[in-house]
Amino acid sequence: MSSPQTTTSSPARLQGRLGTGSIVFMVIAAAAPLTVVGGNVPLAVAGGNGVGAPAGFVLAAAVLLVFSVGFVTLTPHVREAGAFFSYVTAGLGSRAGLGTAFTALVAYTAIQVGVYGYAGWAVDDLVQHFGGPELPWWLYSSALLAVVALLGYRHIELSARVLGVALVAEIAVVVLLDLVVLGRGGRDGLVMESFAPANVLSPQLGVAVLFALTGFIGFEATAVFRDEARDLERTIPRATYLAVLVIGVFYAVSCWALITAVGAADAVAVAERTLAGEGNLLLDTTEDYLGPVLRDVVQVLLVTSLFACVLSFHNVLARYQFTLAGKGVLPRGLAQRHERHAAPSTASLVQTVTAAVVLAVLALLGLDPLVGVFGSMAGVATVGMVLLMLTTSIAVLVFFARHPGASSRGRASTVLAPVLAVSGLLACLWLVLSNFPLVTGGTVLVSTLLALVPAVAFAAGVLAGGRFRLADD
């Protein structure tokens, strides 16, 4: 790793020529599609509306698509990277903007650390599967952190290529599984019960939506990389809509395929056994339909999926810190840009140290990597993500109310879509909070305290916001 040569011009801007495909890779990689299919789908089926679980992913995608309309309509009027906090600043001012920034830092730090825990467990499970020794999960997490540190320090194009290779492989094998299962018709034929109103609209639908939402964390990465996009006005909207559609369709179809593979009558029971550690819905289905070799391939790809996920979150966090440091909110040294790599290398190094410290604390506490680390951190991140999108939708409404002639897209994009997004996100927030212990795996008290973390971060940002001007002059 070369020494950090930096530029100090103000304001520092990142550069790049990322196209729609590269940015979509970043967003989908952050969503960790194979991880969601292997983990969130059994949770949605077992704890949610059973064979109707695919509807949860469809509804979550629909809410995000409606949100995206206002999000991309405001994009040309936001003159900097920073994603949600830049949008909120444009509509609601610096106090709300800084509150949003603090919420995002907490949410993404939480999910990044959670994924490190999950990845440590997954690597250990893989090593033991192939006859290797059982080692502490944090050893594997630390090794993964070192690789992420190296890639995050260098130019974003390198990360995009690495994410692209891992992402194509994991999506390809799940698409193959989906095609084979649906082509054969599953054990008892295609499970059309998944679309029956009685199954879709069951009282447990909210649980399925909750676990579907966690699969979209990292959604705002389309705008975080705006300074490195090839064509802001075209690349960001295309990447945003395409990412939501690809993720939503992939999750819903894969969920339906896994249900079809085991049959409607046994889907819930098989999902429950997966959660109890007595089987694995994804891996066992892969072995049944594609053979033991591809089962092993999927288990390896689960690790690469987690790696791609944590690398994407690392890049997002480094750019959040880079932008905030340029405004004086964080130490100015974090706004330094590497002269050769054109990357926020100093912020990347700080993010690596932060993650290492948090991981060390969690390891010393002896927490379980799945329930104690990943479950609780994913819960915090899910609440944070919904709050971020809700505040952003309100900011879109306020901005265009103050500047009615700012967009040529009409009231459908500047008023109707944001209003629908606010309504949908409020419903999602209620679903998340009312079922929060299912995500964290903790008691009601612990879950309540964790749920308050993003709100406390927002309040802290609002209180500190009077000292800073986040909006450009």
Flag whether 467 is in a domain: no
Confidence label for 6 from pLDDT (cuts 50, 70 and 90): very low
For residue 452, the Cα-to-chain-centroid distance in whole angstroms is 20
**Residue 441 or residue 98, greater confidence:** 98
**Any alpha helices (H) in 185-291, and if so which ranges?**
197-200, 205-214, 221-224, 232-262, 267-275, 281-290
**Any alpha helices (H) in 32-53, and if so which ranges?**
33-35, 41-47
Per-residue model confidence (pLDDT) at position 380: 87
Please report, for the domain that includes residue 225, its CATH number: 1.20.1740.10
Flag whether 293 is in a domain: yes
Rounded CA separation 471/328 (Å): 12
Contact 459, 99 (CB under 8 A): yes
In this structure, of 50-54, 90-94, 202-206, the range with the lowest mean pLDDT score is 202-206
How many structural domains does the chain have? 1
pLDDT, tens digit (0-9, with 9 covering 90-100), for 217-264: 766 667 666 556 555 566 777 778 888 888 889 999 999 999 999 998
Flag whether 466 is in a domain: no
Flag whether 199 is in a domain: yes
**Nearest residue to 346 (alpha-carbon basis) of 153, 106, 146, 145:** 153
Flag whether 473 is in a domain: no
Domain containing 243 equals 6-461
Flag whether 470 is in a domain: no
Best mean pLDDT range from 14-28, 139-153, 449-463: 449-463
pTM of the model: 0.82
**Nearest residue to 322 (alpha-carbon basis) of 224, 456, 392:** 224
Per-residue model confidence (pLDDT) at position 128: 86
pLDDT, tens digit (0-9, with 9 covering 90-100), for 22-48: 667 666 766 778 888 887 888 888 878
